[in-house]
Structure 1
Amino acid sequence: MSTLDDTVHRVATPDTLAREFHRLPGTLACAARARGLLGRFLHRLGRTDLADSAQLVVSELVANAVEHGLPPVDLTMTWLTDGHPTLRVDVCDHGLSGALPAVQTPADEAESGRGLLLVEHVTDRWGVAPHPVTGTHAWAELRTA
C-alpha cells in the first residue's frame, strides 16, 4: 500500500518481529488514520489486547505532531521481541522550532493540555527529543502483560 500521502515500509530485524513506517500528510485526519494503522498492525500480530491504550497514545503523539510541527508526520510502529515483548511507537514531525512538548497540569476547566499526561499514565516508557534531521521525535513503549 503506497500513496503520495502514506508510504509503508515493513522491515524485521533480529530483535523485532515486525516494523512498519508510514509517512502521513500532517493534516487533522492523521490521528484517526494513525489509530487505524496501529489497530491493523496489532491485529496482524495477534495483540489486540494492547489496542485501546496504544491507539490513545498514537493519537495523542500524532495530534501533537500535527498541531505543533510541520508536515509530513512520520509514524513507525515496532514490535520488539528482545527481552519483554514491547510495542514501540515513534512519531516525528518536521518542525524545526526547537520547542519540545512537556507534560502539563491544566486547570480543571481547560479543554486541552492533557495529552502527554495520558501518554505518561498508559505507557511503560515514553519521551520526546529534538530529531537531528527533521524536527521533534516522540516515542512511547507499551509492554505486554
Structure 2
Amino acid sequence: MCDLTIRLVGHWRSLGLASCSKLRSIEIEIYFRYDEKPQDVPAYSLAGAGMLSQAPRTLRHVTIRLNYLPRVTTLNNRRMLRLQEFDKVITYDRFPDMKEVNLCILLDRYLEADRKYDWQHVVVGVQKALPNLHARGLLKVIKQSAFG
C-alpha cells in the first residue's frame, strides 16, 4: 500500500501521482491565512483537486483537512475555497473503488467562539458544496480539535 501526505506547498504537478500505481489513500491539507486576500491567491482547493486529477484509479480514501475555517459561508465561496472542485474530480468514473472522502474541519477560534455558530450549519454547508459525494454516501464531515 502506498500512502501519501501532501502539504499544499510547492509544485504539486511534479509529484507524479499517476506513477504510484498502488496509491490507496491521500491526505490534502488546506490552510486559511489571514494575511491573504481572496484575489491575491488561487482558490485554495485547486492544487488538491489538481493532484487528485492525476491520482491513479486505485485511490480509495481521501482526507481533506480544512485548517482554521474562518466562516461557514467560506465553504461555498467559489473565489476563495472552491470546494466544489473536489466534487468534480472525485467521480465514480475516475475512482470506481472509492470508499470514503473525509472532510476534517478545524474551525478558526473566532468562529468556534461565536454564539451564532452551529456545527450543523457547517455540515450542511459541506453537503451543499459537495452534493455528488454526499449523494453517493462517501462524504464524512469531521470536526477537528485544535488540541488533538
TM-score range, shorter chain: 0.3 to 0.5
TM-score (norm 2): 0.38
TM-score (norm 1): 0.38
